[in-house]
Structure 1
Amino acid sequence: MGKLFDEIDDTLAGWIEAQPLWFVATAPLAEDGHVNVSPRGHDTLSVLGPRRVAWVDYTGSGVETIAHLRENGRICLMFVSYDGRPRIVRLHGTGSVLLPGETGFDEVVARHPDNPSTRAVIAVDVTRISDSCGWGVPVMDVREERDLIRLHAEKKGPAGMEEYRRRKNALSIDGLPGL
């Protein structure tokens, strides 16, 4: 078993924010519901305090994270070192969805580059912080960020993105309400 932390200190916060790829996992309450794991990247994540993180959530083809959080709030973020010392850090907690105009949304969005694909901010109150060895994770190099999500949103424009979200982000794959 790995180490448990009381809080996200400055050193851990710096390491977390430096990871180019991380994962978010959520699940519905229904026994036959689908567990969802999504990769995240870009400059979107902020450590807001010793037990609070948030990220700018871009429009995607699904809305599982948002739907699951609205139903039950359970969430786990996993950060993995692909270079240097092997390490895996997991943040378990309760997540909430902040939409444009809601308290906290602008604070998080202002910390990151503007992106026309922004649909929400996901904030997490962290209840458990742990790390483990990561010895089985390969050493890899990051070549570059993909800019497809920005290009897609710019091509569609604001009205096109609203329509896309209405069609693709209204319900989760299990039929839970999304946006």
Structure 2
Amino acid sequence: MSKFFDHITPELTEFIRAQPVFFVATAAPEGRINLSPKGMDTFRVLDEKRVAYLDLTGSGNETAAHLLHDGRITIMFCSFDTNAEIARIYGRGFVIHPSDERWRELIANFPNLPGVRQVMEIRVESAMTSCGYAVPRMRETTARDTLEKYWTKKGEQEKEDYWQKHNLRSIDGLQTGMPETTPRPRR
């Protein structure tokens, strides 16, 4: 049976912290709906009405574009172990970049990981739990370290160059809010 909440309860917080993966869904008023899996200890419950996740550099920047143009976001946590439960958070999201005033406050909640792009802060409008009876039981064997190794090897300049080439616009052509910079000459 589904249960609805207007905030994040202590029980929901406990369930969320136990999940190694979460899913983020966003959409702009027009265009594609984006659904992305996330992991790597990047989600935090800040208080009963605010959550945030550390966004690492990836192939696109759809979530940022959608939040800039619409703001709606759904985050889903799904238990793949013996506890057959699903939790969803519904809210309005905001992108916080390293140059933003609130960056230091938010980034302090997360581990120091290579490839950091931005923090997504979500104001919780509602949350719900539901059964996960049809979700298979699966085991987490090991965390995947591919992204960490990739951005450690590339370094800051190559990360910023990647942003300029791949992260300024969504696949539907929407601006993502990332600042454009003048390319630096290579040494």
Which bracket does the TM-score occupy, shorter chain normalised? over 0.9
Are 1:135 and 2:133 an aligned pair? Answer: yes
Match for residue 54 of structure 1? 52
CA distance in 2, matches of 1:85, 1:148: 29
CA drift of 1:111 comes to 2.2
Match for residue 32 of structure 2? 34
Cα deviation digits, residues 63-115 of structure 1 (max 9, x gap)? 00000000010100000011122011111110000001324322332222211
CA distance in 1, matches of 2:94, 2:112: 21
Once the two structures are superposed, the pairs formed by residues 97-116 of structure 1 within 5 Å of their partners are 97-116=95-114
CA drift of 1:13 comes to 0.8
**Larger of the two Rg values belongs to structure:** 2
TM-score where L is the length of structure 1: 0.95
Q: Which moved more, 1:8-17 or 1:62-71?
A: 8-17
- For the 8 Å contact 1:26–1:37, the answer to whether it is kept is yes
CA distance in 2, matches of 1:168, 1:103: 25
For structure 1, list consecutive stretches of 5 or more residues without a partner in the other structure. none
- For the 8 Å contact 1:64–1:173, the answer to whether it is kept is yes
CA distance in 2, matches of 1:19, 1:39: 12
- State the 4+ residue runs in structure 1 displaced beyond 3 angstroms: none
CA drift of 1:150 comes to 1.1
Percent identical pairs in the alignment equals 43
Q: Secondary structure at the match of 1:177?
A: coil
Match for residue 93 of structure 2? 95
Match for residue 183 of structure 2? none
TM-score where L is the length of structure 2: 0.91
CA distance in 2, matches of 1:145, 1:107: 27
CA drift of 1:5 comes to 1.6
Q: Secondary structure at the match of 1:36?
A: strand
Match for residue 11 of structure 1? 11
- For the 8 Å contact 2:7–2:125, the answer to whether it is kept is no
Q: Secondary structure at the match of 1:53?
A: strand
Q: Secondary structure at the match of 1:174?
A: coil
Q: What is the one-letter code of the residue matched to 2:16?
A: I
